Every structure is written in structure tokens, then in C-alpha cells.
Amino acid sequence: MKKFFIVPSILSANFACLKDEIECVLNSGADFIHFDIMDNHYVSNLTFGPLILESLKNSNIKFNADIHLMTEKVDSLIPSFANNNAKFITFHPESTNHIDKTISLIKSFGCKAGLAINPSTSLHHLDYTINKLDLILVMSVNPGFGKQKFLDYVLKKIEKIRKLIDKKKLNIILEVDGGIKKDNIINILNAGANSFVIGSEIFSSKNYKKTIYNIRKIINNYNNKKK
């Protein structure tokens, strides 16, 4: 039976009280914390770097970081994130000259390796790498900014990847990021995803615990019907 993960994206959090925001969603039932790292080159936005994670680590918050590198020259950044509570480090195939080498670099630090697939990115990048991956992140919006609308045509891409994972009997987390809400998560579940990066749906709500509980309830009800 697949495990299902709820992964709040702090891109939608209140940066003025980031530690409190992270502690709140963790206490509300979040599995990991998603960090969208943007360098204003690979995408047209600039977020935060490894010093933020280092500060959070030094503040004694216990959490596992799901690092999503939307940057150029990812190999030079990986060590800094790997040493600061990173459980997963995910990168885009366009951001490295050697995908296999980058996967190996991530794993050399004891982290799980992920490959991110944009809405228009071909799945051929998985042909020779899927056996080495721990996570595949499907972007359901074009990366760069939060609060975007979920692109429905990405559901077919999720389905194809799920079939590929199951055919090879691999233990890979299939994660989706972008525009996920309570009213469309069933469609994403049906497509085969089992990890959900959720930003504004959680952080724009008045009660994080209630919102995460309601999302978890939808997932559990779906899972029970599939048994």
C-alpha cells in the first residue's frame, strides 16, 4: 500500500515568522517541508538560499526538508543544502549537463534524489535515470511563482509516470507541485500521485491544522475505497 505525503510549501508562508509557520504546519500533520529554491536565472524569481535552512536547523526545529532546486549550476549548490536537514533534493534535467552525475552527487551526501518534470518537459529524461531516483516531481504549473492554477493536462503526464513506476516495480515517490486544492486533489490521486506539495491552500487558510486534516481525510477516504 502506498504512503501518502502532505508537503507544505513555505513559498506561501509568512517569511516574517518562518520558524513559527514551519512548527505550526508540522504540528498540524505535515510530513515534510518544501523549499522552492529559485535563483532568478532558471526561473524569473528569487527566493532563498542555504543560509535560511542553516538558521532553521540551528534553531532546533526538527524537520525534513524537501529541497526543490529551480536554479542553474545545481551541482555547486547541492552540498550546502545537503548539510542542512535536506531529506530530498530535486533538480530539473535542464539545469545540469550530466543528470546521472548530479543524482550520484546528491546520494553521496546521504540524501534522496529527485528529478523535476515541467509541464512541457519530455519524459525521455527518465529513460536512463528512473532506476536511480527516489522521487519524481511533476510540476502542475510553470515554475517560478505561487498561487497559479493547476494545469489539467498534466494529469496525463502523472498517469504515464505512475504506469512506468509500477511496471518497473520501483519504490519512487510521485510528487506533484502547483495549484493543488481540496477540490482537485482527487483527480491527482486518481492519476497516481502520492505526495502533494501544497502552498496557498494551507498558508492562506485561517486554521492550518483543520486544512491539513481535511486534505488528509480526502486522501484517506480515497485510499480506503481503493483497498
Active site residue 177: yes
CA neighbor of 7 nearest in space, from 192, 178, 225, 217: 178
Map the chain to HEC letters: CCCCEEEEEHHHCCHHHHHHHHHHHHHCCCCCEEEEEEECCCCCCECCCHHHHHHHHHCCCCCCEEEEEECCCHHHHHHHHHCCCEEEEEECHHHCCCHHHHHHHHHHCCCEEEEEECCCCCHHHHCCCHHHCCEEEEECCCCCCCCCCCCCCHHHHHHHHHHHHHHHCCCCEEEEECCCCCCCHHHHHHHCCCEEEECHHHHCCCCHHHHHHHHHHHHHHHHHHHC
The residue from 31, 66, 134, 177 that is catalytic is 177
CA neighbor of 137 nearest in space, from 31, 30, 22, 34: 34
The residue from 20, 31, 36, 39 that is catalytic is 36
Q: How far apart are CA 164 and CA 150, in angstroms?
A: 23
Which positions are catalytic? 36, 177
